[in-house]
Structure 1
């Protein structure tokens, strides 16, 4: 039997909204979180991460930031500056992504 978290994870959809400078996640079609950045001179400054309180405590922010960093890495065009406290913490927990930092 699947847990509620497993069911939520199955319905998560991640998207890059380049025009808005944001990565977003929806869960079951409901907006659940956003990681915003400002791009200048080839550096994406991730300055804000937010998860809707109803989805808090489920690891949504971590999966959202991982999606964003995997996307940045795959594109190979930017470096990252972490000015959002959550993103700073995330990089501290994931040293395998340190090559992305400016």
Structure 2
């Protein structure tokens, strides 16, 4: 949101190139690595792990930037990790519902 107030800074070529470098390169590398991983393990296996992104973001913010984690952040993180863990538990073969009706 603050970027709209600093339009004059973006008009400088060196700042614009730095912003593009910071935004495009890590994003492109991350998407490439995620898509490569999905192609290796399959979408059903990889999907629950995409929900962990906010958890790792909060943890890295805490460790690297010294940000504070509130009670809601911790509870939300535990719910996300728990849900991802539950969704990766293999099902028993006999519990499948037949689609023949």
TM-score, with length taken from structure 2: 0.27
TM-score, with length taken from structure 1: 0.26
Structure having the larger proportion of residues in helix: 2
Structure having the larger proportion of residues in strand: 1
Answer with 1 or 2: which has the greater Rg.
2
